[in-house]
Amino acid sequence: MSLPEPHIWCRITLLILTVASFLPQILRIQRKQSTHGVSPLCTLWNLIRATEQFTLFVYALYTAYEPNGTVLLHSPLSQGDRFNLWHCAVVTAPFLALFTQFLLYSDRKISLLTGYISFLLVSIVPLIIDAISPIDDDLARRIFSSMFGEIHVMIIFPILTFLGFCGIYCQAREILAVPFPNSLSQLGLAIQAVVFTLVSVTWIWSLKFPYETWNGEYSWNNFNGWYYTVGWIIFDHFVFALGQAVLLGLALHRSSSCKVSIRGEGGETEPLLGNIVH
């Protein structure tokens, strides 16, 4: 027995807020025609993680679906199960928009594009090939489905969680290295810290998982099983939200330091100019 799903209109409202949370950053880059101050690696890795979440639900719904249900999906499929796919698809779009801005304004467009295409070749592209393949061998498809699932669950999921922390580090370095004001939107960081925290909590009720089997025991084995089935997507959203909050605090401190430095330089310059005039 899994937890009751949240009302669909609550999830739609939260999805709208999620997309809107990207607008301050997208509009700031567009206005400045520059990505100076925003980490390209952090942007790439965030897009890859969003793409992987979308890939997960495409795989669960169309490749590995079983009529009697799976860990991720209810039996029969609920409205929330289908909405999960649309949620991930819609959220991937603004991440892709930010990535596209880097392709327009950054001098690292080739390496960024190569990195993302390389990931697509092991994520959504194999599912597309499987869907359009004329091979109708049920055993072959089951072998493909099993291999695809094992590779993503055992290898790609942990790597992407690690990259989430790496992305926070890369953006923090960018904040410390690039003077303010720059292309980083502090408003965007603040909104996303709040919205993605709500999203991570909502995912707990949105994904089917047999929590009753834990019997109140919170062991490492239980956590491990939870993480490799539904927990990684919940955990990744929480890490992103926490990262935005940490980066916001760092950006506010760095911004205030830059303002004090500018005022100090201005105060030192005026007397010197006065002495020259006299």
Contacts for 208 with CB less than 8 Å, ≥ 6 apart = 2, 69, 70, 71, 72, 73, 74, 81, 230
250-271 confidence digits (pLDDT tens): 999 988 876 665 555 555 444 4
| Residue-by-residue DSSP string for 214-258 | GTT---HHHHHHHIIIIIHHHHHHHHHHHHHHHHHHHHHHHHHHH
Cβ count within 10 A of residue 242: 17
71-88 confidence digits (pLDDT tens): 667 667 788 888 999 999
Q: From CA 124, how far away is CA 27, in angstroms rounded?
A: 29
Q: Does 1 reside within a domain?
A: no
Q: What is the DSSP letter of 61?
A: I
Q: From CA 40, how far away is CA 30, in angstroms rounded?
A: 15
Q: Does 230 reside within a domain?
A: yes
Q: Does 3 reside within a domain?
A: no
Whether residue 69 has pLDDT greater than 70: no
Q: Does 190 reside within a domain?
A: yes
Q: Does 26 reside within a domain?
A: yes
| Residue-by-residue DSSP string for 137-148 | -HHHHHHHHHHH
- For all residues of the chain together, what is the average pLDDT? 87
**Number of structural domains found in the chain:** 1
Structural domain containing residue 269:
8-277
Burial 61-87, CB ≥16 within 10 A → b, else e: bebbbeeebeebbeeeebebbebbbeb
Show the tokens assigned to 130: 């499987």
Reported pTM? 0.88
Whether residue 278 has pLDDT greater than 50: no
Contacts for 44 with CB less than 8 Å, ≥ 6 apart = 99, 102, 112, 115, 116
What is the pLDDT at residue 269? 46
102-112 confidence digits (pLDDT tens): 999 988 899 99
Q: From CA 191, how far away is CA 59, in angstroms rounded?
A: 31
Q: Does 108 reside within a domain?
A: yes
Assess contact for 215 and 274: CB atoms under 8 A.
no
Nearest CA to 48 among 108, 106, 122, 149?
A: 122
Q: Does 2 reside within a domain?
A: no
Show the tokens assigned to 278: 């006299």
Percent of the chain with pLDDT over 90: 57
